[in-house]
Structures are given as structure tokens and as C-alpha cells.
């Protein structure tokens, strides 16, 4: 979930949306299950799903950046198409052929914490560095703030937004690899369950650490706030509908706070 939330911050920081990341993740997980069941080595599988994520991002970019279509609508359509592809891969059944090597890579413990958590934390550190200490991070911010001014400043807005969408697809593909390894099986009908929380975390992150800006460390904090809230509801015996209400309300509140923080920053 954290990797998916980080993926969401890339197009958001560049002023766009990519709702297809959940679909990319599920298709990736399905491919991991199918390919490893046929004996394909896990490094080849990992490269394959990362490439698949980049291809999805490139397709989104061709429509959004190339043709100027609305990113929200395009990626919503891509999400729906990917959900259909995922069901076609699985035949509507739960895939159980994930190899033990993938499972061990994802779930092996180091200092009492599963490997996939370390991977996500390392990724937070990498993206924190990119966002705050490199020109690429500043370019994303400039393009998201004002594409026209960025063009006047000599930035390639098309290239920057394309890289953001493709990078988001790659991260979503990696999230799918970890999803398959964490459960050892894949239900390809669950894409919709993995969309709301990452975006809520990303928008909550824009109200912490770097106020008014989508950032990696804030996204980490936002996601864990959501997880703690849901865990509390479960401890009090809340049913699934309460969790959905909490996630939906958190997303609305996060968008509201992010907007207010951005407006306050603009006035200052």
C-alpha cells in the first residue's frame, strides 16, 4: 500500500492523476503468479512486470500528454481496462501458483520486520531525496504548479509529465510483485480496494512535512495515520462498512486540508 501511495505522488506532484495504478498492480500480481507457476525465474518476472508498468504509464501519457485528454477520465478508463485484463489472466479464479522464491523474497524477516516493509521504507528514502535534493524533484513541482511558466523557463513539460506517469506505472508494477509474494496467491478482482487509501495517504501527506506539496515522508505519515485509524476501528469491532466510510471520509478531509494548505501557501 505504501509503494502504491508513493506511486500516486509522482503524477500528483506534476499536476496530474493516475487512477490506473491499482489496476497495474493487480495485473502485475497476476502475471507474477502465472509466470512463476510456469517456472520462469523471479528476476525475469520482476523485470517483466516493471516493463509492463512502464508500458501502461506510456500509454496513459500518450493520451494525456500527447492528445491533451483529461487525466482523471483517461486513467479511470485504463483502470477499468486493466481490471478486465486481470480477470482474463486469472479466468475469474484465485491464482495460487506464486513460487516460494518470490514469497521468501517478499516476506523474509530482517530485525523482525518483513522484507517488503524494508523495501517500501527504502523507497521512501529514495523518493525523499529525489523530491528534495535533485533538480528532477523541483521540476516535477514546477510543472505541477504552472505548466505554462515551466515552458517559459525552458523545461520540457511533456517529457517531465511522461516520466512521472511511467515511473508511477513502474512502482505500481513493483507493488504487484510484492502483493503476489505477500499472500502467495492473487485475487484479480481486488483492484478497487487498493485505490482509495493510497490517494488519501498522498493528500494527507501534502498537509504534513512539506505543507501544500506532495512528498514522500508526508505520504508515509499519512498512510500510517490511516492504518492506525482502521486498526482502532477494528479493535472496537467495526464492520467493513465502517472502514470504507473512514477511508472515504479521510480522502475528502485530506483533499480539503491539502487545498487549504495550498491556498494559505499561495497567499503567503
Domain ranges across the chain: 2-190, 195-268
DSSP letter assigned to residue 192: G
Give pLDDT, residue 91.
84
What's the mean pLDDT in 15-23?
Answer: 90
Question: What's the confidence (pLDDT) of residue 162?
Answer: 93
Q: What is the pLDDT of residues 161-188, one digit of tens each?
A: 999 999 999 999 999 999 988 888 888 8
Predicted confidence band at 265 (pLDDT cuts at 50, 70, 90)? low
pTM across the whole model: 0.88
Q: Residue 109 above 90 pLDDT?
A: no
Residues belonging to the chain: 268
Cβ atoms of residues 178 and 104 within 8 Å: no
Per 3-state DSSP, what percentage of the chain is helix, strand, and coil (rounded to 5)?
A: 75, 0, 20
For the cut 70, the answer to whether the pLDDT of residue 201 exceeds it is yes
- pLDDT at 223 (0 to 100): 84
Of 223, 192, 193, residue with least CA distance to 206: 223
Q: What is the pLDDT of residue 1?
A: 87
Q: Mean pLDDT, to the nearest integer, of 203-227?
A: 80
pLDDT above 90 covers a percentage of the chain that reads: 36
Q: Residues 113-130: pLDDT tens digits?
A: 888 999 999 999 999 999
238 pLDDT higher than 70 = no
Average pLDDT, the chain: 85
Confidence grade of residue 224 (pLDDT, cut at 50, 70, 90): confident
Per the CB < 8 A criterion, the answer to whether 208 and 262 are in contact is: no
State the pLDDT confidence band at 267, using cuts at 50, 70 and 90: low
Residue 251's pLDDT is 72
- pLDDT at residue 261 in the model: 62
**Residue 230: is its pLDDT beyond 60?**
yes
Find the mean pLDDT for residues 59-72. 90
Q: pLDDT band for position 20 (50/70/90)?
A: very high
Residue 249 has pLDDT above 90, yes or no: no
211 near 228, Cβ under 8 Å?
Answer: no
Confidence of residue 80 (pLDDT cuts 50, 70, 90): very high
> Which of 101-105, 207-211, 219-223, 253-257 is least confident?
207-211
253 CB burial (10 A radius; 0-12, 13-18, 19+): middle
Amino acid at each position: 500500500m505504501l509503494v502504491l501511495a508513493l506511486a500516486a505522488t509522482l503524477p500528483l506532484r506534476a499536476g496530474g492523476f493516475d487512477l490506473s495504478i491499482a489496476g497495474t498492480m493487480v495485473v502485475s500480481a497476476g502475471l507474477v503468479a502465472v509466470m512463476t507457476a510456469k517456472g520462469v525465474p523471479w528476476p525475469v518476472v520482476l523485470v517483466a512486470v516493471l516493463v509492463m508498468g512502464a508500458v501502461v504509464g506510456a500509454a496513459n501519457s500518450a493520451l494525456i500528454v500527447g492528445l491533451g485528454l483529461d487525466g482523471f477520465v483517461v486513467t479511470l478508463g485504463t483502470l477499468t481496462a486493466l481490471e478486465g485484463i486481470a480477470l482474463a489472466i486469472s479466468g475469474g479464479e484465485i491464482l495460487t501458483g506464486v513460487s516460494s522464491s518470490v514469497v521468501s523474497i517478499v516476506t523474509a524477516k530482517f530485525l523482525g520486520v518483513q522484507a517488503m516493509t524494508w523495501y517500501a521504507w527504502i523507497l521512501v528514502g529514495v523518493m525523499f531525496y529525489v523530491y528534495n535534493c535533485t533538480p528532477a524533484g523541483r521540476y516535477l513541482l514546477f510543472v505541477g504548479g504552472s505548466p505554462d511558466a515551466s515552458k517559459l523557463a525552458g523545461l520540457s513539460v511533456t517529457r517531465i509529465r511522461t516520466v512521472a506517469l511511467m515511473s508511477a506505472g513502474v512502482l505500481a508494477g513493483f507493488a504487484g510483485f510484492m502483493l503476489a509474494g505477500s499472500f502467495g496467491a492473487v485475487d484479480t478482482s481486488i483492484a478497487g480496494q487498493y485505490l482509495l487509501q493510497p490517494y488519501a495517504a498522498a493528500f494527507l501527506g501534502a498537509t504534513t512535512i512539506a505543507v501544500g506539496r506532495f512528498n514522500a515522508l508526508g505520504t508515509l505519515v499519512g498512510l500510517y495515520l490511516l492504518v492506525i485509524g482502521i486498526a482502532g476501528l477494528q479493535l472496537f469491532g467495526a464492520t467493513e462498512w465502517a472502514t470504507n466510510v473512514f477511508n472515504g471520509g479521510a480522502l475528502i478531509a485530506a483533499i480539503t486540508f491539502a487545498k487549504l494548505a495550498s491556498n494559505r501557501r499561495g497567499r503567503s
